[in-house]
Structure 1
Amino acid sequence: MENLLKGKIALVTGGTKGIGKAIADKLARDGAQVVVTARTKPDEEIAHYFIAGDLTKPQTAQFIAEEILEKFGKVDIVINNAGANTSPGGGYSTLSDEDWSNEIELNLMSAVRVNKALIPSLISQNEGVIINISTGAAVQPLWKMTMSYSASKAALNAYTKALASELGSQGVRVNAVSPGMVKTPLMESFIADIAEKGGISFDAAFKSIKNEIGDLPLSRMGEPEEVASLVSFLVSPEAKYITGANYRIDGGAMAIL
């Protein structure tokens, strides 16, 4: 895959840590010029072009798009990775209107707005790839932990399929990637919070989540780099006949095809 993306401009939102950073680094190794966004610039050095922006604010996507097009003249690959489960667990009664709104803004509307701002550029080239990073929880929601998050990502999945249908004839491919439990700072913090609230160990909390899921044949969390490898393939010319798909990368967590 080395240099397979040479000459391509790629945007990775939420690209400074976790899965987003792994994707950004992988696309750069494949030859792409990578742009990453986050709300604030991290203290450590970033190897990619950085744009600060809070994508829960409606105007941010347009600002980011304008800077990319001014700086690089085009964009070829859009990875909508920004997202998180920010709401409290406990089920419907613990979730406020604000919790629901926050999840939808971060996990759905951030991608919708970024895509809307950059799709005209992709169409003008008659070529481009959009990957929306979703989650296995969108099709296997855990009411105690992910109700509003799962709902927002399920909406992202439906949007992905619809967008792929709309843009396919114009040369733009759109797919979703749905990680399961991946070893990121956010996931580890999520598990640690469950452990603290339950008065149990981290390993016991991880096991409790596995039990809620029902099964995890590979018996471990995934690595961010494993997700990045899948994304790298999907944005490459090797995947040029793939669009409108949702690829789960979850260690076999769901007992369905």
Structure 2
Amino acid sequence: MVKFKQMCGAAAVAILVAGIGAVSMSAQAQTAQAAKDIDIPAGSLGNAIAQLGRKAGVMIVFDPALVRGKRTAGLHGTYTSAQALDRLIAGSNIKARPDGRGGYILEREPLSASRSTAAIETPQAEILVYGRLTKDTALSIPQSVDVIDSQAIQSSNSDTVGEVLRFIPGASRDGSLLDAFGDTYLIRGFLANQTINGIAVSTMRQARDSIGIERVEVLKGPASVLYGQLQPGAVVNIVTKQPQREWKGSAGFSYDRYDEFRGTVDLTGPLSAGGDLRFRVTGAYDDADSFIEYWHRRHLFVAPVGGIDILAHVIGGSSTPAGGFVVLTDEHWLAELSLNLLATVRLDRLLVPKMIEQGAGAVVHVTSIQSVLPLPESTTAYAAAKAALRTYSKSLSKELGPKGVRVNVVSPGWIMTESTGRFLERLQDTNGGTIEDARQSVLEALGGIPIGRGAEPSEVADLIAYLASDRAGAIHGAEFVIDGGTVSTV
């Protein structure tokens, strides 16, 4: 596919022409009468009209100010060009006038007395603006928000975010025409701040490639400063493409003036059965000369992304010697905290942001009943670390709940694992006697187990699996004790 990019402007009123292609006027008139399958997504009315012009092969002339800020619910079905255009502009106070050569000229429609008093109801497509918890229509969002989705980005041949913002009223790109440096954007006369998936970032050293972008959201006006120390003009938020549960892939290439070659690839799919673990890789390569002699540009963009729905932290244990707190050194304390607290914090920091980006996920932390029932002879440091993990989990649940991520805690008691056997051997070495004597000493310290046995690892795993499943979708910020009744509270 060959694409041609041109920059043009006018001092007075700009005129946008949609659907200019390699067709004659007579062929255009015939095309206008033929019905075609047309699929245009919801979005900007101006972009939708431009897509219709290209797909139907007709010329549609209109003033950009006529469609500025207006949206359409999209179009899906078989229509003639006239029928499709009428449906796109329905309820927008715009009328289409045939130009006599198979094309159309869009004009503002004067309101009649009957229409001026009647509300015009146009279906509004639902969009999910990043940072909001529910889907809304563009009209119901109280702030001024412009959203350009991936299909609009692709159909407009926009390779960078700076090129995407050409379609945002009041926005301009303030960067290198040769993409030698990162883009900055001016919106309403102010330098616009940039965020990626709602997180503030510094300006990129190079213009951000559009192949890895799902959509671009622009929140305009003073409302933008509510989300941090930002400029009052606007916030430009880039929502990146996320991994999918089904295998999908695409590749493309283009050739432009100055021998510019561009190739792109987008591949996503599951890494585990059911798609709980997923991946996505997007990439682009540009190679081009320029209008400046001896200036050659090469650009490589690769963005691997992982996706995860369930995160269960089960690592933990104790290796400190018996003998009470006096025998514990700083090294013992640091080892217990690193294994039983910081390992969980570090893994959360790595993977939970992916859950926040996709707006869903389940996290289960495994603590211990020793967080409330410590054994001072042998597990003081371990119990303190698990108590800290319990508090951290509660704080995390309050933060992540509004973002669609559930956090729960499982607190096992005496579990019959291999590490339990090694723990009993250490007690035997310290206190003497047999393994059974060591086991009885632990049971006495715990106050006994009413059901007469410790829990099996498979029983703990079943509880974790339930909390991570959709069946526990309403359970959040809770702690579940599985100890055979050791802790005598309900």
Is 1:216 the counterpart of 2:449? The answer is yes
1:105 to 1:249, Cα distance in 2 relative to 1, 3 A: same
Aligned with 1:87 (options 290, 295, 320):
320
Aligned twin of 1:113: 346
Residue pair 1:138, 1:150 contacting (<8 A) in 2 also: yes
Aligned twin of 2:95: none
How far apart are 1:90 and its partner, in Å?
A: 1.2
Per-residue CA deviations over 1:143-179 (Å, capped at 9, x if unaligned) read: 0011000000000000000000000000000111111
Q: TM-score, normalised by structure 1?
A: 0.72
Aligned twin of 2:434: 201
State the distance in 2 between where 1:34 and 1:218 align.
38
Q: How does 1:1-257 map to 2 (within 5 A)?
A: 70=304, 73-257=306-490
DSSP 3-state at the match of 1:115: helix
Residue pair 2:276, 2:309 contacting (<8 A) in 1 also: no
Residue pair 1:134, 1:178 contacting (<8 A) in 2 also: yes
DSSP 3-state at the match of 2:474: coil
Structure 1 stretch 79-88 or stretch 178-187: which is displaced more?
79-88
How far apart are 1:196 and its partner, in Å?
A: 2.9
How far apart are 1:34 and its partner, in Å?
A: 7.2
Instruction: Flag the structure with larger Rg.
Output: 2
1:223 to 1:251, Cα distance in 2 relative to 1, 3 A: same
Residue pair 1:122, 1:128 contacting (<8 A) in 2 also: yes
1:185 to 1:252, Cα distance in 2 relative to 1, 3 A: same
DSSP 3-state at the match of 2:308: coil
Give the RMSD, CA atoms, in angstroms. Answer: 2.2
DSSP 3-state at the match of 1:195: helix
Residue pair 2:322, 2:427 contacting (<8 A) in 1 also: no
Per-residue CA deviations over 1:49-108 (Å, capped at 9, x if unaligned) read: xxxxxxxxxxxxxxxxxxxx95x8311111111111121121111000111111111111
Query: What is the identity, as a one-letter code, of the residue corresponding to 1:161?
Result: K
Residue pair 1:138, 1:153 contacting (<8 A) in 2 also: yes
State the distance in 1 between where 2:324 and 2:429 align.
18
Residue pair 2:451, 2:484 contacting (<8 A) in 1 also: yes
Query: What is the identity, as a one-letter code, of the residue corresponding to 2:433?
Result: I
1:185 to 1:33, Cα distance in 2 relative to 1, 3 A: farther
State the distance in 2 between where 1:250 and 1:167 align.
28
How far apart are 1:32 and its partner, in Å?
A: 6.8
Per-residue CA deviations over 1:105-160 (Å, capped at 9, x if unaligned) read: 11111111110111110011110011111111111011001100000000000000
Query: What is the identity, as a one-letter code, of the residue corresponding to 1:210?
Result: L
How far apart are 1:214 and its partner, in Å?
A: 0.8
Query: What is the identity, as a one-letter code, of the residue corresponding to 2:435?
Result: F
Per-residue CA deviations over 1:222-243 (Å, capped at 9, x if unaligned) read: 1100000000100001111111
- In structure 2, the gaps of 5 or more residues are 1-244, 247-271, 279-302
Per-residue CA deviations over 1:16-64 (Å, capped at 9, x if unaligned) read: xxxxxxxxxxxx9x957679xxxxxxxxxxxxxxxxxxxxxxxxxxxxx
DSSP 3-state at the match of 1:145: coil
State the distance in 2 between where 1:78 and 1:86 align.
25
State the distance in 2 between where 1:31 and 1:182 align.
30
State the distance in 1 between where 2:424 and 2:274 align.
35
- In structure 1, the gaps of 5 or more residues are 1-6, 9-27, 36-68
DSSP 3-state at the match of 1:73: strand
Name whichever structure is richer in strand by fraction.
Answer: 2
Aligned twin of 1:23: none
Residue pair 1:216, 1:252 contacting (<8 A) in 2 also: yes
DSSP 3-state at the match of 1:74: strand
Name whichever structure is richer in helix by fraction.
Answer: 1
How far apart are 1:192 and its partner, in Å?
A: 2.0
State the distance in 1 between where 2:387 and 2:459 align.
22
Residue pair 1:215, 1:254 contacting (<8 A) in 2 also: no
Residue pair 2:276, 2:310 contacting (<8 A) in 1 also: no
